[in-house]
Amino acid sequence: MSDQFTLRVNGADHDVRDSWLGESLLEVLRNRIGLLGSKGACEQGECGSCSVVVDGELVCSCLVMAASAIGQSITTVEGIAPDGAPSDVQRAFVDAGAVQCGFCTPGLIVAVHSLLESDGEPSDTEVREALAGNLCRCTGYGRILEAVERVVVERRR
């Protein structure tokens, strides 16, 4: 068992107890803190469904040891639109039909926000490279790329 520690998630402090040493941030987010938006699938950084932002960097929360993230600022998909109204990226995903089973969606939403914060006008190739770590088995990616394009165009206005 690890000592109790505190994580700052979406602007709020959460005390984490009874976590086992080495437990991933993904497990702690879902099972200790109760934030179920980040999904767990591969648990080896291959699928991107657990993507979160730690101190400004997009990472896979399954590869972050939770207790090592003390003092860092963690943003999950729940922190993207905290007041309940969907973000522009979330709306674009719905409008473009980029959500099918929905399992990969939270990770993609976090990844797209992270991409557009660092580059507001990414080329198609740059979008594909930026989202290469987020696997979707339903859409074939076309509608996801379209959703990103919609946000780029909207934000330009």
Edge-first strand listing for the sheet containing 5-9? 12-16, 5-9, 73-75, 51-54, 57-60
* 46: contact with other proteins by CB under 8 A: yes
Of 86, 75, 85, the closest CA to residue 111 belongs to 75
Residue 81, CB-side half-sphere exposure with 13 Å CA sphere: 13
State how far the Cα of 151 lies from the Cα of 149, in Å rounded to an integer: 5
Contact between 141 and other proteins by CB under 8 A: the answer reads: no
Question: Does 136 help bind other proteins (rule: CB under 8 A)?
Answer: no
Count of residues that interact with other proteins, criterion CB under 8 A? 32
Residue 18 binds to other proteins (criterion: CB under 8 A): no
**Applying CB under 8 A, does 117 fall inside the site for other proteins?**
no
Q: Interface residues with other proteins (CB under 8 A)?
A: 2-3, 5, 21-22, 24, 43-46, 48, 51, 57-60, 62-65, 67-68, 70-71, 111, 114-115, 129-130, 132-134
